[in-house]
Structure 1
Amino acid sequence: MAKIKKVIYLASALLLASLLAAHLYYLFLPLGNNDSKVEIIIPRGATVAAIADSLKNHKIITSTTALRLWMKLKGTERKIQAGKITCNVGEGVFRASKNLLNAKPIEVVFTINEGLTIEQTAERIAQVMEIDTAQFNKLCYDTAFIKELGLSVFSLEGYLFPDTYRFPKDATIKEIIRKMVQHFDNVYSSLQADTSVISRYNRHQIVTIASIVEKEATVAWERARIAGVFHNRLKLGYPLGADPTVRYALRKFNGPLKVSELNSSSPYNTRKYTGLPPGPICSPGKASLQAAMTPADTKDLYFVAKWDGSGEHDFSRTNEEHTRKKLLIRRQNEIRKKGPR
């Protein structure tokens, strides 16, 4: 009788052990050879519980508790990174937990062109990322946040450096702005400056000059010469006479400017007031910053766009010469509009 009981106990123990092993296998190990793949997105700040639920819903694991327990035992629950993983259906806790530690970041790539304003930059980023443009704009005028970035200016106009950027899909607006400003700092500090320029103007003023050059220069080789004209006019106390500053004040970036608009009382109106406007009118690129820091050595005081549509300018040293060229260009434009007879 005792032997029979012993056999029964042993059989029961083996059955329990087999059931337990089967259960553990079901909870932790792959369920067959399933080649179906599933892409899982792990948001920033997602909890292990939320991730486990997602894996179970996609039939990658059979138990959320098993995954949470295993990762806790391994000490890896806090090492999960936001990003994207690819799993096989039914691959089990062990493989899934390894995949979670190798998430690939989801990157968004966008390009900010030279010459954009804060608002235009926000709109460009919003085309590829889910950002609140109003919040972006607000932060760019938030003096407390600007101070955190190490700047003593009233806005970030001119400091969101134009370039191609890569960001995680869930990057915050502050992270985006901070990276763009840091990039500006790095580029600006890498440039060589004429000692006479940096002795006369501070960084904010140089960026302001560069931003006007950016909007005026269409042809690359003219940047330094246009910058030279502006430096000359500033030294002589002449108004810069740059229409892009008026357009910035009015937020009118297309179409002809009316006489009443050119007489705007905005401090950005460099047709009306001498000296520099309060700040930059756009984000200048590296070439325009360099031009503002090392302007061409020229005696030119004026320039006007050529009539041929090339984007180039005619430069003059005197107002009389400038007036003659304007009249000639106006006649050429009128002939061009009439077309061949």
Structure 2
Amino acid sequence: MSEKKEKRRKKHREKLLERQKEASLVRKIVFVCLFLIILTVAGVGYGSYQYIMNAIGPVDESDDTDIEVSIPIGSTTTRIGEILEENGLISNASIFRYYVRFKNESNFQAGDYSLSRNMDMDDIILELKEGMVYQDYQISFTIPEGRWLERVIELAEENTNLSEEDILEVITDEEYLEELIERYEILEEVILTEEIRYPLEGYLFPARYDFVEEEITVEQLIETMINRTSSVLIDNGAAGSQYTYHEILTLASIIEGEARNDEERYRISGVIKNRLDRGMPLQMDPTVAYAHGEHLSRTTYDHLEIESPYNTYHVTGIPIGPINNPGEASIRAALLPEDHFYLYFYHSPNGDVYFTETLAEHEAVVGQYQ
């Protein structure tokens, strides 16, 4: 073998060894980087876990000093959390709100409480649920989910000192409505036109309402209901939605009108999202009834012909406004639609609901009953 060839081979081996060393170094660097990333993620995860565990635990296990707090009537979980944090009984009001929602806790009682910093969050929640109301209610009534504003007014008249005429006069007063729109962020897209039947439809939250006074004003009643709607929207993360508050309540009202249980709510919400994404009309029967201003036992083809900004067979996209006053479950479903490919659903006369992906499948289901 010539000396020249031997030199070339030696040089080639040296380059190969150099490349192997470089590859080994790169592997080590990658391994170290991956290891550091894993450590960082684990550290952040562990830190977050520890932070949450500390937040739901006692603020100070050694401090059993009684702290007097007062929970006003009508307080939301957001407000209760703020009161507890302000008094040093919990470290984070937001975690309290999410923890309560995670555990599906409710029925907190208004009243005066003696609590301490050595109580954990579960102990405090238990106290708030078992406490005694500090005042007797003079007015107490419940608005069921999904009622039209007319029915809400009737229930208010039946259970308070207010008359239907008094309430209607106030909620149709354009000057008062403009004042509310200025004050409440959730009302900023409310439209004051003749096309809107009632601008506050959808904003009068269905719930139990308690008042210690023997007599209340229309404004007090309306604003208490709007405050409740605002709290529910905020507590459920509506501020981060792709939709406006007005659109969320409109979609929730349609879901409320269509769904018969919680499982259906999320699935129907998914159908609505799929239709909106494809630019299809929603074609929801409850919007037709609202457009006609009467509850229909059965929607006919003649009913579908009405030209109304509420009629989703007539307009494409989200209609002009809510068609009832939806509850929290439907609001949550509007914000968290189920992920699927269904574009149609049909409620059969025997109570079953059928979800389908194509028009042919839908027509086949309908054909079995009609």
Flag whether TM exceeds 0.5 (same fold): yes
1:319 aligns with 2:359: yes
- Provide TM-score, normalisation by structure 2: 0.57
Q: Please give the alpha-carbon distance, in whole angstroms, between the structure 2 residues aligned to 1:211 and 1:146.
A: 21
Query: Within 5 Å, which residues of 2 pair with 1:129-278?
Result: 129-149=160-180, 150=184, 151-152=187-188, 153-154=190-191, 155-167=199-211, 168-192=213-237, 198-199=241-242, 201-278=243-320
Greater Cα radius of gyration, structure 1 or 2: 1
Task: Give ranges in structure 2 of 5+ residues lacking alignment.
Answer: 1-134, 192-198
Decide whether the 8 Å contact of 1:140 with 1:157 is kept in 2. no
Please tell me whether the aligned partners of residues 137 and 210 of structure 2 are also in contact (alpha carbons under 8 angstroms).
Answer: no
- Partners of 1:289 and 1:166 lie apart in 2 by 23
Query: Structure 1's 329 and 193: CA in aligned 2 closer, same or farther, altered over 3 A?
Result: farther
Of 238-247 and 255-264, more deviation after overlay is shown by 255-264
C-alpha change, 1:257 and 1:329, in structure 2 (3 Å) is closer
Does the Cα contact within 8 Å between 1:194 and 1:294 map onto a contact in 2? no
Aligned ranges for residues 107-146 of structure 1 at < 5 Å?
Answer: 107-146=138-177
Whole-Å separation in 2 of the counterparts to 1:202 and 1:256: 32
After the TM superposition, list the runs of 4 or more consecutive aligned residues in structure 1 that deviate by more than 6 angstroms: none
CA deviation string 1:95-120 (max 9, x = no partner): xxxxxxxxx76611100000011111
Q: C-alpha separation between the residues in 1 aligned to 2:214 and 2:291?
A: 34
Q: For structure 1, which segment, 291-300 or 127-136, has the greater mean C-alpha deviation from structure 2 after superposition?
A: 127-136
Distance 1:204 1:193, change over 3 A: closer
Aligned CA RMSD, in angstroms, stands at 2.0
Percentage identity across paired residues of the two chains: 37
1:303 and 2:345 aligned: yes
Aligned to 1:289, what secondary structure does the other structure show? helix
Contact 1:118 1:140 in 2 (8 A): no
Q: Is the 8 A contact 1:194 1:293 kept in 2?
A: no
Unaligned runs of 5+ in 1: 1-103, 331-341
CA contact (8 A) 2:342 2:355 kept: yes
Structure 1 residue 172: Cα displacement: 0.7
Task: Return the offset for 1:286.
Answer: 0.3
User: Contact between 2:284 and 2:312, CA under 8 Å: does it hold in 1?
Assistant: yes
What are the Cα deviations for residues 211-254 of structure 1, in whole angstroms up to 9, with x where unaligned? 00000001221101101101111111111111111111111113
Normalised TM-score (structure 1): 0.62
Q: Deviations over 1:165-221 (max 9, x none)?
A: 1122200111000100001111110003596xx23x211111100000000001221
Which range moves more in the overlay, 286-295 or 140-149? 140-149
